């Protein structure tokens, strides 16, 4: 899927209050740079191609922490720490998720 296909739905979602988008992409850093043009307040992407199972594990951990009301950075850090449990199968998994925050 290309950013061009996502642009209209994401722009609509932003106008309706979208504050955070999370993507697992083979080019997460490139995608984050392209999404910055759409002015999403915050995006979480994987630094490099990530197996779906590791990305799902991160998302599950992140969403469980999301309900505790702390900052985005704390949620992501704790969800990344929980990925250390699967690093025997996916080395370096805890370093893959990264936050891009729009300064505007």
Domain boundaries, the chain: 18-101
Ranges 26-30, 33-37, 55-59, most confident = 55-59
Mean pLDDT (the chain) is: 90
Residue 103: pLDDT above 80? no
- H-type alpha helices, 16-102: 28-36, 52-66, 72-82
More confident residue, 3 or 60: 60
Pick the closest to residue 10 from 45, 35, 44 (CA basis): 35
The rounded distance, in Å, linking the Cα atoms of 5 and 30 is 16
Give the sign of the dihedral formed by CA 63, CA 69, CA 70, CA 72: positive
Q: What is the pLDDT of residue 14?
A: 92
Residue 1: pLDDT above 70? no
Q: What is the pLDDT of residue 17?
A: 94
The rounded distance, in Å, linking the Cα atoms of 90 and 60 is 16
Predicted TM-score (pTM) of the model is 0.88
Token pair recorded at residue 22: 């999370």
pLDDT tier for residue 25 given thresholds of 50, 70 and 90: confident
Q: What is the pLDDT of residue 69?
A: 74
């Amino acid at each position: 899927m290309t950013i061009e296909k996502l642009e209209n739905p994401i722009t609509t979602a932003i106008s309706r209050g979208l504050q955070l988008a999370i993507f697992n992409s083979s080019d997460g850093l490139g995608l984050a740079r392209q999404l910055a043009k759409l002015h999403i307040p915050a995006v979480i992407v994987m630094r490099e191609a990530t197996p779906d199972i590791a990305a799902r594990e991160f998302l599950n951990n992140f969403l469980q922490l999301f309900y505790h009301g702390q900052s985005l950075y704390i949620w992501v850090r704790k969800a990344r720490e929980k990925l250390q449990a699967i690093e025997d199968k996916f080395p370096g998994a805890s370093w893959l998720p990264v936050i891009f925050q729009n300064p505007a």
